[in-house]
Amino acid sequence: MKVSSRKTGSALSHAPDDWYAVDWRRVERNVRGMQIRIAKATREGKWRRVKALQRMLTRTLSAKLHAVRRVTQNQGARTAGVDRELWDSPESRRIAVDRLKRRGYRPLPLRRVFIPKANGKERPLGIPTMHDRAMQALYLLALEPVAESTSDPNSYGFRSHRSTADAMSQLFKSLHDKGSASWVLEADIKGCFDHIDHDWLERNVPMDTAILRKWLTAGLIYQGQLQATEAGTPQGGIISPTLANVTLNGLERELMAHLGAKFGTAKAKKLKVHVVRYADDFVITGDSQEVLVNEVRPWIENFLAVRGLQLSEEKTRITHIDQGFDFLGWNFRKYSEKLLIKPSKKNAQAFYRKVAETISGNKTVKQEDLIRLLNPMLRGWAQYHSPVVAKQAYSRMEYLVFRRLWWWSKRRHPQKNASWVKTKYFHSVRNRQWVFAAPVVWKDGDKGLFELYQISGTVIKRHTKLKGDFNPFDPKWEQYGEKLRQDRMWESMRYRKQWATLYMSQGGLCAHCGTGLTDETGWHDHHLEYRMHGGKDTLSNRVLLHPHCHQQVHAGKLVVTKPVLY
């Protein structure tokens, strides 16, 4: 790709005077080059070299810039820690880079907050300060290549390019044949993030032990009281998911090695034991109930005990595939020896409650505004379930949502009859009747209808699972990773056609810095000729940029042109 916009790049030997003058393409290249070297040393088992390269990376200016950008561009950027400090200006971000130093670093306690869970309970989160978040992001850059290179092939949670759909596809592969395993151990770790043993982490996590110890023992503040953190890695920290993954790495490989050593390779294969893990939830298949009860579960309990963890008695069970089980919001069950994966009842009920609360909590808003609130929710839920057998669940959910919206519409006009209410809020669109839609005037001046997202119109398409051995820090997987990223971004944009067209026309790269656009980085829609200057809203006048690149372009009054693909 040829990128025509250029910045007066500052040297990366010292902190930039202007945050918007940073050459982010160079930053990305420097960081990735070091990460590839760390991953290579890990695969070769050269742990002294790994440690030296990690130390080198965490001291580079590129890594510090990358870390500050990450914590100021993600969703938590507007949530402060106990110091109430936010880095919401270019100057504060520039100063923050200089503060990322190991010497004299002392993390502040976490701010304890609680968020509701689907089952009505609350999940505790520990919110670090911006400075501590940036330090975690910095050291995560050095830890991630090691974690990826040592992870189990069928571990899918909190890892680059991996998703719940990959875990689902692997389970389908393990269970769909007639001769597949018939029994499943559904495992759930009791308070995984809260109980990981600190001593085990310090001995086994390949990173700066002194820094890790400071994070683990920083404590937390709740209702004005300082509480000690004697175990666990609190949810809310950027590095916490990777620490949990490192803790559970080996569960699949070591279990297979144990069974192979005890029964021999041929007999172990006949046991049909397969592990699929997503974060701290995992499923293990087996040919018989006995092998799961007598061999697998005791081994798993010992594996976890060493790390200070234990299985949840309430949530851990052994189930026959004909009875079915729930995992990651889906129900897996065989009907007459045919495996069907559907949205679970629990997932559908939790989603409907969320939609119903949104509708009932916005009784007086304009219809157009209610549709703007509901569409991302409906689209997200429908797309999540699009790789499975979901048509029946779609139709049922659409009916329930319609019923709620009819109640919302009638309540606003108690003196009007049903025919009047239907005419005002529901319309005929193409071959569809009773479409909840609001009359609007589009940007180009044309009048039209702004429709509620049609759940039942979501295309059901089988997910293509990524290869288990894929390592984003191994150059031999570079081409595979690029195609995977573009294919998945295309899928996520499929129902936003203009963005999808722009994304493909740019080769999946930012039109300013030339690096990849991903769900994690996000993107902004930029007009080449500003609309206030008469620029049109056509695709020929628009490009996709990273959010920080978009800020950079506007702050520096830089010129961006349509990228040229070769």
- Predicted pLDDT at 547: 85
pTM: 0.86
Q: Confirm whether 164 is domain-assigned.
A: yes
- Predicted pLDDT at 382: 96
- Predicted pLDDT at 561: 83
Q: Are both 417 and 494 inside the same structural domain?
A: no
Q: Residues 330-378: pLDDT tens digits?
A: 999 999 999 999 999 999 999 999 999 999 999 999 999 999 999 999 9
Which among 315, 342, 369 is the end of a domain?
A: 342
Under 8 Å between Cβ of 170 and 125: no
Q: Are both 127 and 68 inside the same structural domain?
A: yes
Under 8 Å between Cβ of 196 and 163: no
Residue 24 to residues 57, 133, 192, 317, 566: CA-CA distances in angstroms? 16, 20, 36, 49, 22
Angle at 340 between CA 334 and CA 346, to 5 degrees: 100
- Predicted pLDDT at 489: 78
User: Whose structure tokens read 């990173």?
Assistant: 207
- Show the tokens assigned to 161: 């390019």
Q: Are both 251 and 381 inside the same structural domain?
A: no
Query: CA 97, CA 100: separation in Å to the nearest integer?
Result: 6
* Residues with Cβ within 8 Å of residue 478, at least 6 apart in sequence: none
Q: Give me the residues of the chain with pLDDT under 50, please.
A: 1-11
Q: Are both 165 and 276 inside the same structural domain?
A: yes
- Number of helices (H), then strands (E), belonging to the chain: the values are 21, 16
Segments forming the whole domain that contains residue 157: 151-197+232-342
Q: Are both 435 and 517 inside the same structural domain?
A: no
Query: CA 16, CA 49: separation in Å to the nearest integer?
Result: 30
- Show the tokens assigned to 90: 């270019």
Q: Are both 317 and 305 inside the same structural domain?
A: yes
For 273, phi then psi, to 5°, come to -85, 120
User: Which CATH number do you get for residue 501?
Assistant: 1.10.30
- Predicted pLDDT at 566: 53
Query: CA 57, CA 30: separation in Å to the nearest integer?
Result: 9
Q: Confirm whether 275 is domain-assigned.
A: yes
Q: Residues 502-539: pLDDT tens digits?
A: 888 888 888 888 888 887 778 888 888 877 666 777 88
Q: Confirm whether 144 is domain-assigned.
A: yes
Angle at 286 between CA 282 and CA 288, to 5 degrees: 140
- Predicted pLDDT at 4: 41
Under 8 Å between Cβ of 346 and 339: no
Task: Fill in the amino acid letter for 140.
Answer: L
Q: Are both 68 and 215 inside the same structural domain?
A: yes
For 15, phi then psi, to 5°, come to -60, 140
Angle at 254 between CA 253 and CA 258, to 5 degrees: 120
Q: Are both 162 and 285 inside the same structural domain?
A: yes
